[in-house]
Structure 1
């Protein structure tokens, strides 16, 4: 009888362990379902979803650059690009108002990881801009983006993608200094 109880107790502990591991994996998966990375893992099914991923990614860039500046000081190109991210967010907000859509919550700070050095921060910027460009390219391939109702969204996605190309070059120059 005692052996059966020990087996049951071990089984319960094993079950709890499995549940914990699965839950931890779910939490990590949700953490990645944000911004450009989230849009790649969970492609948007509507223009509104695409706009939400775009806003999240712009929020994330702003939060990352704010934290990098707070940690390492007013280093270019982060200071310049931070100003651009503010403009991107403002332009997206105008579209949300025009389309009468609710703004996504800005919880980007929950997703920020501070790099260990300025060089690592520049490399993070390169990777983030590559992901951002790819995200906008995917959004511009959505059939709905050509609907006349989304003309302004399409134009802004093109402008934001092109701005990211400039940011990418700035970070690449920063790495090569």
Structure 2
């Protein structure tokens, strides 16, 4: 009878962990940036520390790793209203201002998007268009700004509402996240 219990336990564990991995964010994502015909690929990981989020980034340039961090303050994680477009600089560890997030929405903006189908960021109103695409087992919330046509696809994950992709950005900084292979 012991083998039967062991097999049952293993099956239950496999089912439980299989469901969890479908909607888990990997430790490191590859962000592919396009700007003025150039492409840059950064490895990025988002680490929760207390109520802050630390974004660790790195890029292989000239046969050496350049790296640094952006820290999102608890205030920014909770109710930030500005998406930072600060360019990573090797060796810099930047604490962003309290109103700024990097590559993700604040909890307040995410709640607004889910409840009202719109949110304001960078003094721009975005409205939900659809949620037809998926990434990492989550729906991607496709939004467009009403004024200039910039589009974002946001991971429908309350723990990490990541801007998975940005296209037609008026600043011409576009990106798409990918699972690191």
Using the size of structure 1 for normalisation, the TM-score is 0.29
Structure 1 or 2: more strand by fraction: 2
Higher relative contact order (CA 8 A, sep 6+): 1
Using the size of structure 2 for normalisation, the TM-score is 0.29
Q: Which has the larger radius of gyration?
A: 1
Structure 1 or 2: more helix by fraction: 1
